[in-house]
């Protein structure tokens, strides 16, 4: 099952498990239920985000897979490169111009190309790669008869490998009875195969931002590569010249036929035009005005517009003169020099009169004389203004009469022009036909002359810039292939590592417990490699001891009342470290000064008596059977405050003994004497013992082995515990290797006293 399928299958189960757990926690601790909801929301949000660090941890964990794939690919590429036949490349460079040197303008002979049109060059590249050109080159080099191309054909990697292991150094061509190479059944098939083989070695490489193109030919023979590249360039130039000559000849013959046809059409259309003009009395005086009436009408229209402007201007001036006073009119007209002179004289007299008023009275004869002179000047000004008004009126009447006469003439000429237009409809049709035929005839005649002049011109737009030389080794490139192989090997290794990781349906990190099971992580126990669990626990500064002290602390804060009174330690399958966990937790709680009772409730495969080295002749099984009392089977240990009850003889029916009322009575009575009761229970799956014990215990701690316990198995264990109404307080991840799992300091270093991670012994199996 893939990771996405796995997550989809779990998406519907996880919310149910979290809801059930939240309901159970609410009854024990409301605040604990809120924290579970928060963790569930955080886990749901984190699933939607791609954690790049998770991929890095996968690569670190499976680094040997990545390295192995990298080495395999690298060695394969190295062997393949060394066994591949070396290929040599020769290149000839051509310059392709869109337009040749134009001796004459013969644009109609070839298609016109736009300034930014790349179709022309793309066409040339395709012509260089065409089958027709390859056939001509093969024929010129006589490759079909000589069989040279088949002899130098590069050997495949498979043929070289088979030849290497069989001891043959080279592939020998199969010979016929005549000594020549074996040929296909027909000449056409042979020619086709040779042409296809020749085209395999040909590549066309346009030079960027230029009009140059490289003709590359790859072959195991240096000399053949050179000859082939030069032959392609020469044949391409020759074929281009042939196409130009053929197009010129065809264009000349075609133009001759069309010229004769349009000459007859032009003569007939001109004859029809002249006959119709004579019949209708239509005289054409130019290209712009086809008749005299139209020309006269245009002139009258221009004159009428000018007369109308003059009349409007004169009318406006006359109306202004009628409505204004004399002085205002003078200010507007202001064209009479006499008025200017009179105004100047009046101003001088008026100034002199005002000056003399200071010495003489107004009725003084001199003053009366000056006043009379001023009045005479005013009368002369008024007369002059009247003359101006009369002149303006005369101009207005003249402009009005001129406009009327032009209007009458315009009407007359318009009627004549309209009558002529009615008679000129067919004339215009004949005239347009004549113009069209004349243009076509003149254009064809001009092209025909150009083609005739350019018929013998053989300029070519393609030239050889560099001829091909014996080429150097082109491929395989050992350095380049090794680089590509290294990258591909690294990529393959990463893909394999991620694939193996996703196919590995086990718990690899502490986050998996919360994400897959919906239970909080109370601790992570490191893998022991050299020491026993007892030795590691005695070293109080070891990572093993620190990890279990962390679990003890987490249990103390797991409920509002502290650590559960009775705690069942179980696992989904055997050998996950539950017995070691139960014993170590009991010792840690005893170190705090509390009274702890450790009960070995695994009545099928008990291990505590072996670990502690105590007698197991009687124990829990005897107590549940009613043969002894509790005080008879509780024994002391070397740890202060820690008492232990072993399993006793293995009964034939452990589930019936545990399901009885005596187990509940034992926990009730022991709860009065002891502060903590830790039960080392059997595995959950396959047995009915663990669900029974989980139902009577206050809380259950699930032990999960990192890298071994499958997710589906742990889920089934959680379901069984939930069905028994067990309070799963959390889970711990045992035998966790932070280095091999790709995790850094976060899970590996519990040792606060040392910055160097110590090699600790592997956790023993229970």
**Residue 47 confidence class, pLDDT cut points 50, 70, 90:** very low
> Which segment of 117-126, 411-420, 590-599 scores lowest on mean pLDDT?
411-420
> Which segment of 196-200, 360-364, 652-656, 693-697 scores lowest on mean pLDDT?
360-364
The strand pairing partners of 92, in sequence order, are: 215
Per-residue pLDDT, 459 = 60
Q: What is the pLDDT of residues 177-221, one digit of tens each?
A: 333 344 445 788 888 888 998 888 899 999 988 889 999 998 888
- The CA distance from 429 to 366, in Å, is 92
Residue 664 has pLDDT above 50, yes or no: yes
Per-residue pLDDT, 181 = 42
> Which segment of 74-83, 182-191, 321-330 scores lowest on mean pLDDT?
321-330
DSSP string, 93-150: EEEE-SS---SS--TTTS----TT--HHHHHHHHHHT-HHHHHHHHHHHTHHHH-HHH
The 3-state secondary structure of 363-396 reads CCHHHHHHHHHHHHHHHHHHHHHHHHHHHHHHHH
Residue 8 has pLDDT above 80, yes or no: no
9-49+505-748: which CATH architecture?
3-Layer(aba) Sandwich (3.40)
Angle between helices 478-503 and 63-83 (to 10 degrees): 150
Token pair of 491 as six digits: 């990529």
Give the three-state DSSP class for 602: coil
Residue 656 has pLDDT above 80, yes or no: yes
Torsion angle (degrees, nearest 10) of CA 74, 76, 81, 84? -170
DSSP string, 49-64: S--HHHHHHHHHHTHH
Per-residue pLDDT, 701 = 94
Residue 739 has pLDDT above 80, yes or no: no
The pLDDT of 275-303, averaged and rounded, is: 69
- pLDDT, averaged across the chain: 77
Task: Please classify residue 28 by burial: count the beta carbons closer than 10 Å to its beta carbon, then call 0-12 exposed, 13-18 middle and 19+ buried.
Answer: middle
Per-residue pLDDT, 749 = 47
Residue 728 has pLDDT above 90, yes or no: yes
Domain boundaries, the chain: 9-49+505-748, 74-171+185-250+456-475, 292-423
The pLDDT of 153-177, averaged and rounded, is: 50
- The CA distance from 362 to 356, in Å, is 9
Backbone phi, psi, residue 732, to 5°: -130, 150
Per-residue pLDDT, 389 = 77
Put the strands of the sheet holding 566-571 in their side by side order: 521-526, 728-736, 699-705, 566-571, 676-680, 596-600, 642-645, 634-636
> Which segment of 256-270, 330-344, 504-518 scores lowest on mean pLDDT?
330-344
Per-residue pLDDT, 21 = 46
Which residues contact residue 498 at a Cβ distance below 8 angstroms, ignoring those fewer than 6 apart? 55, 58, 59
| Distances, alpha carbon 419 to alpha carbons 282, 288, 423, 573, in Å | 11, 19, 7, 116
Q: Are 577 and 734 in contact (CB under 8 A)?
A: yes
CATH of the domain spanning 292-423, picked from 1.10.287.620, 3.40.50.1820, 3.40.50.720, 3.30.470.20: 1.10.287.620
Residue 101 has pLDDT above 70, yes or no: no
Question: Within 13 Å, how many C-alpha atoms sit on residue 377's CB side?
Answer: 19
β pairing state of 212-219 and 202-206: antiparallel
**Residue 7 confidence class, pLDDT cut points 50, 70, 90:** very low
The gap from C-alpha 155 to its chain's centroid, in whole angstroms, comes to: 41
What CATH class does 74-171+185-250+456-475 carry?
alpha beta
């Amino acid at each position: 099952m893939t990771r996405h399928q796995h997550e989809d299958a779990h998406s519907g189960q996880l919310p149910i498990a979290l809801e059930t757990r939240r309901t159970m926690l609410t009854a024990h601790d409301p605040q604990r239920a809120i924290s579970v909801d928060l963790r569930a929301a955080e886990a749901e949000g984190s699933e939607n985000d791609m954690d790049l660090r998770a991929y890095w941890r996968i690569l670190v964990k499976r680094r040997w897979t990545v390295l192995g794939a990298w080495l395999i690919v690298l060695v394969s590429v190295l062997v393949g490169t060394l066994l591949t036949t070396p290929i040599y490349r020769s290149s000839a460079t051509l310059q392709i111009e869109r337009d040749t040197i134009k001796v004459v303008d013969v644009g109609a002979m070839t298609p016109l190309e736009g300034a930014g049109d790349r179709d022309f060059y793309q066409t040339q590249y395709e012509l260089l790669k065409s089958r027709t050109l390859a056939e001509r080159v093969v024929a010129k080099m006589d490759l079909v008869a000589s069989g040279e191309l088949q002899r130098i054909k590069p050997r495949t990697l498979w043929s070289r490998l088979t030849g290497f292991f069989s001891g043959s150094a080279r592939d020998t061509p199969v010979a016929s009875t005549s000594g020549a190479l074996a040929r296909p059944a027909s000449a056409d098939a042979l020619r086709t195969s040779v042409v296809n083989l020749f085209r395999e070695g040909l590549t066309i490489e346009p030079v960027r931002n230029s009009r140059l193109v490289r003709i590359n030919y790859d072959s195991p023979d240096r000399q053949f590569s050179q000859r082939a590249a030069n032959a392609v360039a020469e044949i391409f130039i020759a074929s281009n010249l042939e196409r130009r000559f053929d197009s010129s000849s065809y264009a000349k013959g075609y133009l001759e036929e069309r010229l004769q046809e349009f000459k007859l059409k032009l003569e007939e259309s001109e004859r029809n035009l002249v006959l119709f003009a004579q019949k209708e009395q239509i005289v054409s005086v130019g290209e712009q005005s086809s008749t005299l009436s139209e020309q006269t009408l245009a002139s009258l229209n221009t004159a009428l517009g000018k007369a109308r402007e003059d009349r409007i201007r004169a009318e406006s001036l006359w109306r202004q003169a009628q409505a204004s006073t004399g002085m205002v009119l003078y200010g507007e007209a202001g064209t009479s020099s006499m008025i200017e002179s009179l105004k100047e004289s009046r101003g001088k007299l008026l100034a002199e009169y005002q000056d003399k008023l200071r010495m003489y009275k107004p009725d003084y004869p001199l003053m009366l004389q000056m006043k009379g002179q001023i009045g005479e000047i005013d009368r002369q000004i008024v007369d002059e203004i009247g003359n101006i008004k009369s002149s303006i009126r005369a101009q207005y009447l003249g402009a009005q009469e001129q406009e009327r006469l032009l209007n009458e003439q315009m009407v007359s000429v318009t009627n004549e022009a309209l009558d002529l237009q009615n008679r000129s409809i067919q004339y215009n049709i004949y005239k347009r036909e004549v113009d069209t035929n004349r243009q076509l005839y003149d254009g064809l005649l001009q092209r025909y002359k150009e083609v005739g002049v350019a018929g013998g011109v053989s300029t070519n737009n393609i030239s050889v810039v560099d001829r091909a030389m014996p080429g150097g080794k082109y491929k395989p490139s050992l350095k380049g292939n090794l680089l590509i192989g290294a990258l591909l090997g690294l990529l393959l290794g990463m893909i394999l590592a991620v694939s193996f990781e996703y196919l590995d349906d086990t718990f690899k990190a502490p986050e998996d417990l919360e994400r897959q099971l919906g239970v909080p992580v109370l601790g992570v126990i490191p893998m022991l490699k050299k020491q026993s669990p007892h030795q590691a626990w005695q070293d109080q500064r070891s990572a093993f001891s620190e990890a279990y002290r962390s679990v003890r602390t987490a249990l103390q804060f797991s409920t509002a009342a502290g650590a559960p009174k009775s705690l069942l330690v179980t696992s989904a399958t055997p050998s996950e470290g539950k017995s070691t966990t139960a014993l170590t937790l009991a010792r840690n709680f005893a170190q705090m000064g509390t009274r702890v009772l450790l009960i070995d409730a695994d009545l099928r495969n008990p291990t505590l008596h072996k670990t502690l080295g105590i007698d197991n002749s009687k124990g829990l099984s005897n107590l549940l059977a009613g043969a002894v009392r509790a005080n008879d089977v509780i024994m002391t240990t070397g740890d202060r405050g820690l008492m232990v009850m072993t399993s006793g003889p293995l009964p034939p029916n452990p589930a019936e003994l545990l399901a009885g009322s005596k187990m509940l009575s034992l926990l009730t009575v022991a709860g009065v004497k002891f502060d903590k009761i830790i039960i080392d229970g059997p595995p959950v799956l396959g047995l009915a013992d663990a669900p029974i014990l989980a139902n009577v215990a206050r809380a259950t701690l699930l032990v999960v082995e990192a890298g071994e316990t499958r997710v589906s198995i742990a889920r089934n264990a959680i379901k069984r515990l939930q069905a028994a109404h067990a309070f799963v307080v959390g889970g711990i991840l045992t035998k966790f290797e932070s280095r091999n799992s790709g995790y850094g300091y976060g899970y590996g270093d519990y040792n606060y006293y040392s910055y160097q991670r110590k090699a600790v012994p592997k956790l023993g199996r229970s």
